[in-house]
């Protein structure tokens, strides 16, 4: 349905506005939408009157669509040019949705004064309702504004907390980085200390340790290193000049820091600058032992000064270096004693017509270079020559002392005569009663003048190896006796083997032939092959060189963790 008004005057506009409001109200449009539509229409009509001319207002009511769309009421204003003219485009257009299921009220009475008054009151009523709704909306807006303000305050507080948390987190990150850096430096110091300690204690030569110490410290922890051992003197026999701080460290046993400013190092005393090095800071650390310092190590810093933790590490390294030097000096002292004793125990082999002897003794490459292996050769009262090779269990001074006692006892027993088996039997009883927890092995060979035989006996010892003049090699593996000193009564038997001129008998200890990974039998076979390859001429004229030529291929791949002893007995032609 369409309602049309022709508007020329203000009265026409007022009537059209009032009628439109009544039509919209009749179709049940809500107060807010009705007020919005009518108010907008009134404003548009005022503008049209201001422009002048005749205007046309059309209010069209549309029914709901078949697709479920709601009906709408539409108001449009356009210029009116008279009958027969082309319709103009609307200058203004507005619409409102019609409520579903509402039946429009009957047409109102014609426009009159009463209707005008009623329309004005209705408009005021609608405006009042709109204002009430507007007040409610304003209260709601105020409420939400307050909520928004509170939210903003919370957001600001949250931002402040987040900023504080961010600062705290940054501080924690900074502290963590610093802690990681310190931990890395501490790990580096501990690793260096462990590696340096291992390098210093790996050697038993104190001069080698003194050479390694500067190599370890320069340039990471020191620019220069000077080690002052109290036992060292210059060629003139006078001590070299030393910084006063080094002398103070030697006298007090405490580390000294000599510089023109305090060092602030834990456990280190401050000292005035050195007159020898006035512009250079010095850290003088004593080398302590249980009784008195061995010396003082003087360091110059790699940079301006030392870190406090680095100084603590350097003091600890000096302590460990002192222990290594002290141990090396003690070892060198004991080694000198051992070597002197070993040289004193070696026998000068006798010369006998028709028989040549050559001996070799090589100590183990580990330890004090002294052990229980020995060789000996001496004459008995009847003119026979006794040769012996023995091995006391263990190494070191104790084994060497026991070897010396056995050697002396054997010579004493041989004065009374007796065969090799009888001598070993008596030696077994002697060792069993003297040292019940110590054992030994030995082999004795006796050569009689003008007799083409050799009588021999063994007690737990590797068998002798015999080379004939033709180059044939035999292993004399007749049944030996048990080890000397074991808790067992035994009577060691003699064995006799014929010898021809040009024959060579090899007596040896297990250090020459035994290897842990292979056992002893392959080593005896190697010795037999080495003896068989020697030339007759060399055996007759250069028995000493022959001993070396046998040892070299036997020991080239061995670290000699046991003593080696070899005695060659050659019957000349």
Residue-wise pLDDT tens digits, 426-449 = 999 998 888 777 899 999 999 998
Least confident window among 101-115, 157-171, 249-263? 101-115
In this prediction, residues 22-45 reach a mean pLDDT of 86
Least confident window among 80-89, 255-264, 372-381? 80-89
pLDDT exceeds cutoff 70 at 479 = yes
Categorize the per-residue pLDDT at 290 as very low, low, confident or very high, splitting at 50, 70 and 90. confident
Tokens of 553: 């291929």
The residues near 339 (Cβ < 8 Å, ≥ 6 apart) are 369, 370
Provide the pLDDT for residue 103: 63
Tokens of 140: 């709601």
CB 543 within 8 A of CB 568: yes
CB 294 within 8 A of CB 325: yes
DSSP 492: P
Provide the pLDDT for residue 236: 44
CB 484 within 8 A of CB 427: yes
Give me the percent of the chain exceeding a pLDDT of 70. 89
Strand, helix or coil at 335?
helix
CB 423 within 8 A of CB 413: yes
The residues near 116 (Cβ < 8 Å, ≥ 6 apart) are 14, 18
Find, among 293, 291, 282, the residue nearest to 321 by Cα: 293
Least confident window among 20-24, 127-131, 235-239, 366-370? 235-239
What's the mean pLDDT when you consider all of the chain?
86
- Rounded CA-CA distance 314/266 in Å is 12
Tokens of 18: 């009032």
Q: Which residues pair with 55 in a beta bridge?
A: 7, 79
Least confident window among 127-136, 316-325, 348-357, 497-506? 127-136
Q: Which residues pair with 95 in a beta bridge?
A: 74
The predicted-structure confidence for 172-227, as pLDDT tens digits, reads as follows 998 999 989 888 988 999 999 999 999 999 888 899 999 999 999 999 899 999 99
Give me the residue spans of the domains in the chain: 2-98+106-111, 206-341, 348-571
Provide φ and ψ at 71, rounded to 5°.
Answer: -75, 160
The predicted-structure confidence for 485-511, as pLDDT tens digits, reads as follows 998 899 999 999 999 999 999 999 998
**What is the SS3 string spanning 85-153?**
CCCCCCCEEEEEECCCCCCCCCCCCCCCHHHHHHHHHHHHHHHHHHHHHHHHHHHHHHHHHHHHHHHHH
Q: Which residue has the tokens 């060979």?
A: 445
Strand, helix or coil at 282?
strand
Categorize the per-residue pLDDT at 105 as very low, low, confident or very high, splitting at 50, 70 and 90. low
CB 504 within 8 A of CB 467: yes
355: left (phi over 0), alpha (psi -120 to 50) or beta: beta
- Rounded CA-CA distance 219/200 in Å is 18
- Rounded CA-CA distance 257/265 in Å is 8
The predicted-structure confidence for 535-567, as pLDDT tens digits, reads as follows 999 999 999 999 999 998 888 665 556 788 999
pLDDT exceeds cutoff 60 at 301 = yes
Categorize the per-residue pLDDT at 235 as very low, low, confident or very high, splitting at 50, 70 and 90. very low
> Which helix (H) or strand (E) covers residue 13, if one does?
helix 10-26
Categorize the per-residue pLDDT at 56 as very low, low, confident or very high, splitting at 50, 70 and 90. very high
pLDDT exceeds cutoff 90 at 466 = yes
pLDDT exceeds cutoff 80 at 63 = no
Q: Which residue has the tokens 């036992």?
A: 231
Tokens of 26: 């009749």
- Rounded CA-CA distance 367/374 in Å is 17
- Rounded CA-CA distance 144/499 in Å is 128
Find, among 11, 42, 50, the residue nearest to 24 by Cα: 42
- Rounded CA-CA distance 121/469 in Å is 157
pLDDT exceeds cutoff 50 at 484 = yes
Least confident window among 25-29, 124-128, 555-559? 555-559
Provide the pLDDT for residue 238: 58
Q: Which residues pair with 386 in a beta bridge?
A: 378, 446
Provide the pLDDT for residue 111: 53
pLDDT exceeds cutoff 60 at 368 = no
Residue 149, preceding bond cis, omega within 30 degrees? no
DSSP 231: T
Provide the pLDDT for residue 83: 46
Neighbours of 254 (CB within 10 A): 15
- Maximum pairwise Cα distance, the chain: 178
Categorize the per-residue pLDDT at 26 as very low, low, confident or very high, splitting at 50, 70 and 90. confident
CATH 3.40.50.620 fits 348-571, yes or no: no
CATH 2.40.30.10 fits 206-341, yes or no: no
Categorize the per-residue pLDDT at 129 as very low, low, confident or very high, splitting at 50, 70 and 90. confident
């Amino acid at each position: 349905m369409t309602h049309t008004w022709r508007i020329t005057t203000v009265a026409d506009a007022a009537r059209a506005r009032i009628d439109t409001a009544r039509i919209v109200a009749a179709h049940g449009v809500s107060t807010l939408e009705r007020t919005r539509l009518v108010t907008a229409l009134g404003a548009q009509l005022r503008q049209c009157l201001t422009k002048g001319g005749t205007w046309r207002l059309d209010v069209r009511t549309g029914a709901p669509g078949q697709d479920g769309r709601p009906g709408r009421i539409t108001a449009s204003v356009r210029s009116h040019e008279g009958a027969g003219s082309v319709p103009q485009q609307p200058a203004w257009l507005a619409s409102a949705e019609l409520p579903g299921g509402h039946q429009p009220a009957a047409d109102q009475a014609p426009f009159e004064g009463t209707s005008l008054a009623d329309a004005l009151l209705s408009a005021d009523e609608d405006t009042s309702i709109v204002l009430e709704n507007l007040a409610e909306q304003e209260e709601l807006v105020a409420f939400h504004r307050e909520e928004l303000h509170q939210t903003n305050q919370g957001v600001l507080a949250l931002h402040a907390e987040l900023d504080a948390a961010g600062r705290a987190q940054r501080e924690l990150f900074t502290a963590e980085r610093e802690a990681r850096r310190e931990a890395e430096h501490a790990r580096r110091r501990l690793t260096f200390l462990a590696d340096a300690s291992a390098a210093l204690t790996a050697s038993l030569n104190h001069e080698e340790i003194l050479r390694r110490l500067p190599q370890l410290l320069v340039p990471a922890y020191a620019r220069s290193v000077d080690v002052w051992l109290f036992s060292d003197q210059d060629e003139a026999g006078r001590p070299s000049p030393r910084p006063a701080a080094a002398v103070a460290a030697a006298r007090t046993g405490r580390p000294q820091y000599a510089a023109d400013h305090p060092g602030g190092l834990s456990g280190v005393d401050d000292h005035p600058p050195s007159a020898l090095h006035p512009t250079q800071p010095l850290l003088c650390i004593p080398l302590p032992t249980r009784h008195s310092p061995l010396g003082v190590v003087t360091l110059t810093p790699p940079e301006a000064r030392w870190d406090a933790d680095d100084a603590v590490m350097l003091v600890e390294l000096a302590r460990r270096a002192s222990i290594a030097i002290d141990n090396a000096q003690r070892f060198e002292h004991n080694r000198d004693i051992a070597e002197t004793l070993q040289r004193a125990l070696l026998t000068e082999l006798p010369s006998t017509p028709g028989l040549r002897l050559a001996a070799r003794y090589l100590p183990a490459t580990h330890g004090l270079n002294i052990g229980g292996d020995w060789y000996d050769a001496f004459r008995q009262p009847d003119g026979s020559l006794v040769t012996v090779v023995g091995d006391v269990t263990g190494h070191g001074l104790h084994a060497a002392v026991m070897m010396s006692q056995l050697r002396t006892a054997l010579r004493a027993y041989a004065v009374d005569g007796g065969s090799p088996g009888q001598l070993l039997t008596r030696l077994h009883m002697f060792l069993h009663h003297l040292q019940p927890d110590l054992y030994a092995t030995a082999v004795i060979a006796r050569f009689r003048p003008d007799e083409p035989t050799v009588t021999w006996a063994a007690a737990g010892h590797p068998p002798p190896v015999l080379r004939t003049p033709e180059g044939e090699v035999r292993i004399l593996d007749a049944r030996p006796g048990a080890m000397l000193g074991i808790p067992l009564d035994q009577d060691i038997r003699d064995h006799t083997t014929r010898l021809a001129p040009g024959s060579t008998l090899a007596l040896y200890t297990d250090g020459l032939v035994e290897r842990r990974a292979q056992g002893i039998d392959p080593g005896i076979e190697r010795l037999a092959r080495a003896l068989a390859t020697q030339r007759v001429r060399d055996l007759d004229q250069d028995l000493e060189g022959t001993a070396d030529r046998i040892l070299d291929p036997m020991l080239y791949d061995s670290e000699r963790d046991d003593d080696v002893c070899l005695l060659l007995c050659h019957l000349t032609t």
